[in-house]
Amino acid sequence: MENKAVDTGSAGKSPAVFFGKVRDKLRAKIRGAAESVRTFFRTANSNTFASMCFMGAGQLMYKQWAKGLIYLGIEVLFIVLMALWGGEAIYGFFTLGLVRGDPWTGVEGDNSVVMLLMGILAWFVLIAFVCTYFANIKDCYRTQQDVAAGKCPAKFLDEAKGLLDKKFYKTVLFLPVVGVLVFNVLPIVFMIFVAFTDYGGETVPPELVSWVGLDNFEKLVALADIADSFFKILGWNILWAVLSTFINYFLGLGLALLLNKKCVKGKAFWRAFPVLAYAVPGFITLLGFKFMLSYGGPINQLIIEHGGEAIGFLGRDAKWMARFIGIAVNAWMSVPTTMLLATGILSNMNTDLYEAAKIDGAGAWKQFTRITLPFVVFSTTPVLISQFISNFNNFGIFYFLRGGLTLDGYFEASDTDLLINWLYNLSIDNNYYSIGAAISLVIFVITSVISLAVYVRSSAYKREDMFR
């Protein structure tokens, strides 16, 4: 039994210990799984084996006609589907097209991008089938156990009714899961793959696209122009995310505390102003600010009237000014959210703590740092993470404030652009899809690592339940 010298609450969560625990858990899981497989193969009977060869055969042998036929039907359907479409689609996934279309000669070529997409879809179908196959085996095995224990194989009607009752969750979650799979997972998977192709620029259909491995990532880090911009933009992005998250958070908290003071009458009235700012749709306020700060805009007009020169707030040379304005405008738009959040949390606070602190002699500042702050931060750590992520990927702010401004020294970007703005410029305006996809992956890795690291340490996760 060692005594760790530094013993705060998080000493036991040092990376080495943490990964050690993960490794042990994994080992135990693998051992358990191996044991299950061993047991399965020793104890499975002929019906179950039949189901392994032909889906649904075992169920039919147990006289579960409806279920057996359904499983058999799925297998047949899958084979037909694969033969007619799937096989080709998966082949196309690997080749990404072999025949280049030529409008002149009238040859209809292969559209690589569509082939990639269809290939992924085919993989999804394949995976879905494999899952159904295993479900079929598990089902037959369970029926075998039930019969061994003396129960009858389940009837189809009972199982169908069960879908509405005990297995209600399956029925309910089916549609949302499919929707998310097709419209969220599929695009993301597609883009991940695109990051490893050369799709973009001139290589767009009808040109054939091909796999290039890690080329795009190399370009990101090595190719002079791109790498240069990448690191500059990355640096600014991180700085921006950190600054804006903390400023928004503390300003919101401060505002909430201000409004919470006992001497403030008509709290709802004062709260209405920030809520107004929050309620107006984002792009409107952004464009409004853009116009406000433009060369011919009202602020400059006032300055000119009073004898000054027009300031290019968001102009080409206004690097730090533009960045500062970005943070300020973002605060204007986001502080109401954090304010409302903090207000809700503060109302849950235990006011006895303040009275005890007053008796102990703590002044207002001490009370804030020792009582209010820990409680609020503790309660909202998950929200902080999601705010960080959304600030990191805040597309609109600089898109509207500075338009598609590009500057020298940057490859299709400006000095206030975030990674996501750069992504947009590259993909939509210039068709550099594959590099864009590579950048997306980088953004993902960064944001996920940071948020997972904070999340895992937060107490919300330690209690192994989210938000409960």
In the complex, the smallest distance separating the C-beta of residue 359 from other proteins, rounded to whole angstroms, is 10
Q: Give yes or no for residue 294 binding other proteins (CB under 8 A).
A: yes
Cβ distance to other proteins smaller for residue 72 or 404: 404
User: Using CA atoms, how far apart are residues 275 and 267, in angstroms rounded to an integer?
Assistant: 12
User: Using CA atoms, how far apart are residues 181 and 187, in angstroms rounded to an integer?
Assistant: 9
User: Using CA atoms, how far apart are residues 349 and 346, in angstroms rounded to an integer?
Assistant: 5
Cβ distance to other proteins smaller for residue 393 or 414: 393
Residues 165-204, mask of contacts with other proteins (x by CB under 8 A): xx-xx--xx-xx--xx-xxxxxxx-xx--x----------
- For residue 35, the Cα-to-chain-centroid distance in whole angstroms is 36
Q: Which residues contact 126 (CB under 8 A, 6 or more apart)?
A: 82, 86, 90
Q: Give yes or no for residue 315 binding other proteins (CB under 8 A).
A: no
Q: Give yes or no for residue 454 binding other proteins (CB under 8 A).
A: no
Q: Give yes or no for residue 357 binding other proteins (CB under 8 A).
A: no
The residue from 348, 351, 352, 360 that contacts other proteins (CB under 8 A) is: 348
The residues in 21-40 that bind other proteins, with binding defined as CB under 8 A, are 32, 35-36, 38-40
The answer to whether residues 257 and 371 touch, using CB atoms and an 8 Å cutoff, is no
The residues in 244-263 that bind other proteins, with binding defined as CB under 8 A, are 255, 258-259, 261, 263
Residues 120-159, mask of contacts with other proteins (x by CB under 8 A): -------------------------x--xxx---------
The residue from 11, 22, 77, 302 that contacts other proteins (CB under 8 A) is: 302
Environment class of 23 (CB within 10 Å of its CB; exposed 0-12, middle 13-18, buried 19+): exposed
Backbone angles phi, psi at 110, to 5 degrees: -90, 135
Cβ distance to other proteins smaller for residue 130 or 302: 302
- CA-to-CA dists, residue 425 to 197, 209, 395, 412, 418, angstroms: 19, 21, 11, 7, 11
User: Using CA atoms, how far apart are residues 160 and 143, in angstroms rounded to an integer?
Assistant: 16
Q: Give yes or no for residue 297 binding other proteins (CB under 8 A).
A: yes
The residues in 386-425 that bind other proteins, with binding defined as CB under 8 A, are 389, 393, 395, 419-420, 423-424
User: Using CA atoms, how far apart are residues 445 and 220, in angstroms rounded to an integer?
Assistant: 15
Please list the alpha-helical segments (H only) found in 100-153. Answer: 112-148
Cβ distance to other proteins smaller for residue 250 or 444: 444
The residue from 15, 103, 106, 296 that contacts other proteins (CB under 8 A) is: 296
